[in-house]
Structure 1
Amino acid sequence: MPVELDSAQADGPLHRSFVSVRDTDRPVGAGVLIAPQLVLTCAHVVNSALRREQFDITLPSRRQALTLVMPHVDGERPLAGRVVPELWRPPRSRREPGQPTPPPVGKLPYYGDLAVLELDAVAPAGAEPAPFLPQREGREVVAQWASGHVLTTLRAVTRVCAHPWIALDVVGGAVTPGFSGGPLWDRGRQAVVGLVVAAHEADGTRSPTDNDRRSGPYPGMYAIGWTSIETELSELPPVSIPAAGPGRQQLLAVLEDLLPSAQAVQACEKTLAARLGRKSAGLAAQLEELASLAIGVRRGVPELLDVIYDHLTDWRPHVLESGAWQQALCVARLIGPRERLTLKQRRALNAQLAECRSTDPVGLVWSVLPHADQLPTPGDLAEATDILEGYDPGPGQIMPPLIQGVVRIGVQERAAGRATVADDLDSWTRRVAIRLGVAPEAVLQHRVDLSASGTTTFRAISREGEPPKVQVELLPVAPGHLFTYQIWTCGTDGRHEMVLTQDTDVSSEQIVRDIRHVLRTEVREHPETAVVEFFLAPAWLGLDVDAWELPASVDDGGFHPGVERRVVLRSSERTAETHAGWRRRTLALSDSPRVLLDESCTQPKAVRARLEIPPEPGIIVLCCDRELQGQMLRQCIQAGVHTVLWHRERHGRELAAYLVALVEGIDHRQIPEAVRLERIKAMAADPDRLTHKGSQLSLLYDGPDHRPPPLAPGPWALTLP
């Protein structure tokens, strides 16, 4: 039974690493000690402490020293810290780090906003670098205000973990200016999982260091998760991790077999210490010191195995074929179940993945882990392979899912004509796989099998030839005339990016104006125009979003998305429970029958039965009274139906035949365009009276790439599909 710690005990490592960032004597933000002379914080906290513009991107001079204090260690001793030039990441509006531009006021999330400070002297006695772990959804964390006083401690629950930010609900205390840059502390896991970066309130999102604005409290906040920090600061030295659980004694036992001499232990300890940026014990190094050095550092155990592999290759190569080496690999997974790669291996892989354009990250994870439950939704291939790294081979498999995934990416890139990228990935796989105990012949055979099969990812997810998307996460305010929303873009490379947020109630006309702005400035509509997707809760699927428009004027030709673009509805309530049915139906979509639900089938039991008749339908035509549409739509969503077409106002036998004919005999991917053409016909025939059958068509189109936007405050929170 685990021992329960009181808050003072549970927060001990947090207090020993907490740093207050000052503007002379006034706290403006916080930071966290990551090494004896290094402090991690937010770049905008540095700017505030130096009395610069909050989003100033220019590198502070090394002559500019910041005043820091470690209040829980020695609150009377001021420390001087200076920005490390190569670890300065000012706030920027786009993902790409080159030529950064400050984010527009009110735009969230933005990228960067990180800085590492080097202390002029070693931290005071009693200070310890914080342990770090990747963030997890649903975990309660705590944070402290810039002063570090325990009475300022707030509690929050991580709602959504994503790149570049994670979203949290504040459940105790209040977010006020001065929390930015402070560590998010997971008491249960005894680790820092991110840095506080911004607060959310009803009329906008603000950085909680802006002392000239309101004084709080805020109902929610955002943070930069540790995985995003690692991605941004690729040159960051390895950080500490919490004390390891099981496996330490097993590791010592296997090290005795692999390194039987003192000279071997000392040589490996010296090399490992240099890699991890730690001080070597020199001639005093023994197996205990070697194991402790590896276990206490992020990716330290993979680094240890890599060092031992190099040593054995030079001095005892036959041991690599023995059971002792395989046992070492197994023990490493016991100690660090989510870590297989060294820091350099991971960074090299991420650099290669950034060049890949032919593999969908969600499809990759599903293809490699087809039977796993409740998988996270990756935003890019780096996140996808990070997920795969945490899994062991399935029954009867010898190849780790991570290696399977990288091989699949390489095969897909080669099939797309990107041979150079594929060759680089193959070279990486060849070097790393053998160190993970996978024979080169097995990797080669897996690659040949995938190439011969012609399917490298979940078949319905390939983005090749798909149009870009504008996704509007819409929160109506009853009775449905005013709205708040976020707008995302999804390019042909599968990347999601939030480009606009609206936290105050506005009309549909403003939404259309913002959609047009995003289409003009954020989306490349070549060779195909974008699809506009509205994510809505089932209760609001009856909204006539396809009819919304920006009226024409003398100076403006107006904009009607429902006519000029393919406008579809998507559900914001796909859950893990309904996802299995959705995925099953989507896999069979090409052969799926079109099923009509009309007035003869409106009872819930009858609807449920029709939806389960094999082969399971993925495309439904709904033709019933408006009062029954909401209930039947919810049943379709719960059953995992992919596509539903209905008329918002009319029903009857003639209309049912018209709707069925509209979707019959065409590929499911052509349905949005077919519906758009009917809307055009309706407008051309009768633009005012709306008597044409195509005038009020609604299309729920939860496609095979269903991936709700991963970051949203308050009621916008989405469950993973």
Structure 2
Amino acid sequence: MTITVTGGAVVRLPTVRSDPDALVKAAHVALYRSGETRAYGGGLLVDGGLVLTCAHVVNLALGRPRFAQQPPPARDGAVDGLLVALPGGPAAGRFRVAVEEWLPGCREDGATARDRPEPPEPAQDGDHEWSGDLALLRLLDALPPGRAGAPLGHYRPGPSAFAWYGSGNASTVAAVVVQAETDRWLVLDTPGSAQPLVEGYSGTPLWDREQQRVVGLVVSRRRQRAFAIPTRVVTAHFPRLRPSFTAPDLDAAGPGLADPGHVAVWRQLIDPVRRTLPGPADRADCARELAAALGVPPPAPGEPPAPEWFLLTALAEPHGVATLMAALAARAPSREERHALQVQAVYAAPEQLLTAAEHGELLHLLTGVLPRPREVAARALPLGPGLEDVGWPAAVRILEGYRPRFGKVPSLLRVVEFAAQEAPDPAGLREWNDAVAERLELTAGLAEHRTQAGEAARARRALDEAEPPVVQIQLWRSGSTDTFGFALRSLAPDGAVRHRICRDAPGGRAALLDVLAEVLAQVGRESEPGTVPRVECFVQKDELDLDVDQWVYRPDELFPSVLGQDFLTVLRCPELRRPEYWPELRYRWQARHTAVVLPQERRDPAVQERGRAAPVCGVALCGPPSETGVLRAIAIAVGVPGVVWPRSAVGPGAGALLRELTSGVTAAGLPRAVYEARIRAEEDGVGRHLALVWDGPERIPEALPLSDPL
């Protein structure tokens, strides 16, 4: 068989008819270190006796750092210690080479970096992507007969590429799927290949068997995914290789397709369109459906549109390819053909998962989801793309093209399941997900993701309701002075004691606050970001109006640290609890997350009723100060966990403000509501004078251990 390579060279390869990869095998080059039998990577023979490979492969073969920037040293005109071999040749048939052009890996565009006065920043191990990393070598020895360069061409998305290990051994062939293209590289996967792309494939040509063209150069691997430098980037760096580059046949793709990506889609899908819509009636019916779905004018009445009309229309509209392929799949004569169309849709347009109708409906349903897309996606895809602080339209666009590493369910559908947990209309999002999964034949797989989303939401809610870190202070005032004996301890969320300090000898408040400030600082360092610890002050029954929440525990002229404005500061008074009501306290404590706070101006029998189906778990004392003491004592005695009131220094309007503050608040939300009121309040506002008892049946410290006598 005679093949004419672009550039005029004629090569006779009698084996091409039986081996579709003969052309690239004849041009495959292996790189060795002198005296060794292990290939460090591969390369591609191009016309003119040149070898194209990655610069880092040359560096590794010579024992240099991977991203060494200077060209390798030469001896007698050849790279010292580097030899190349052609697979299938004699064992001793290794050739000397010289560096013709050198473009090491760097962190900026190598094409412009060469023209800049300052050197570019080298790439580093651990970088996800880099520029350059190309080397053009010249053979210094004559090639054996029958060896010539392979032609270059554009890549196509899909499972049509192959690569070999650096040695070129036939058993190392890897079947490659070209998933997408970044700014610099092609993204490669090997989901159905017996041989993955591992270290040692770098520098080897990426071969498109159907096009009979080299479409890239394997450059990197990260976990299960590999990458290649596309040929368009190679020829941009090395213009001398452009004669070997075969441009797409734009005329064969129809009018108006100047985008190589559109040409690749055209070549993949034109045959499925013709095969699925063979007759005029089929095309006329599908054309009306496609035009309505995309919101474009339908073809003129009369002659049914040609197959080319469908692809031209789909390529010109957002979500057009996915919409077209869904319409074709619905008309497929068999399940196997429908599945084949779905696979072709993914490979032809990997960034288009949704049809136009599905996309519009999803954005409408996501409008009311309160958490930002970044937060929902982080919960659903811990190893997924890191979204910026964008809205749902941009997030959906990014997630559409993100494919999961494991499993079949697209990542977008998983994120929708997690979004449904936060949405005001979860049923609408789940119905939408069910419809898309049914179209993609993924209903069974989606059920597992729905279960996981529900479990994650329940776990998060339980975490939100979990107890924060707690600092407890038992206070004993010495007479009527401002001196106290105290015991202090801090508890982790699981109840473990982290700090314990006792001072039974009375001391001034300043000494107490110095100790407290040190413990609070340590608790802050040990807490999760955003956590507000709770400070519980155990006081005697005649000290319930002690304004501990307004104590300045860290003085500062400009920004004093106030206890109740920095922490959820509450009071506890087990002394007032009646033993016969302890079961009631435990019962009310369990219901605190659902029971609302009851405003109380006078004695209300509902507070004292035991075993109510909806027990009173929180009380806001909004009556006159003369009634506050009695009502407070009753509520605490019968086991109400949360009791809040304004201290007597506040004016007569405090009750109305407190009623407004606690309206709709659950008992469990009382500490947070009071904390926020203290932050927002003016210097003499009601929030600065609120006292709160928040007392449950757990974590009650033992009696203060007295120190040994002197």
TM-score (norm 2): 0.32
Mark the structure with the bigger radius of gyration: 2
Which structure has the higher relative contact order (CA within 8 Å, separation 6+)? 1
TM-score (norm 1): 0.31
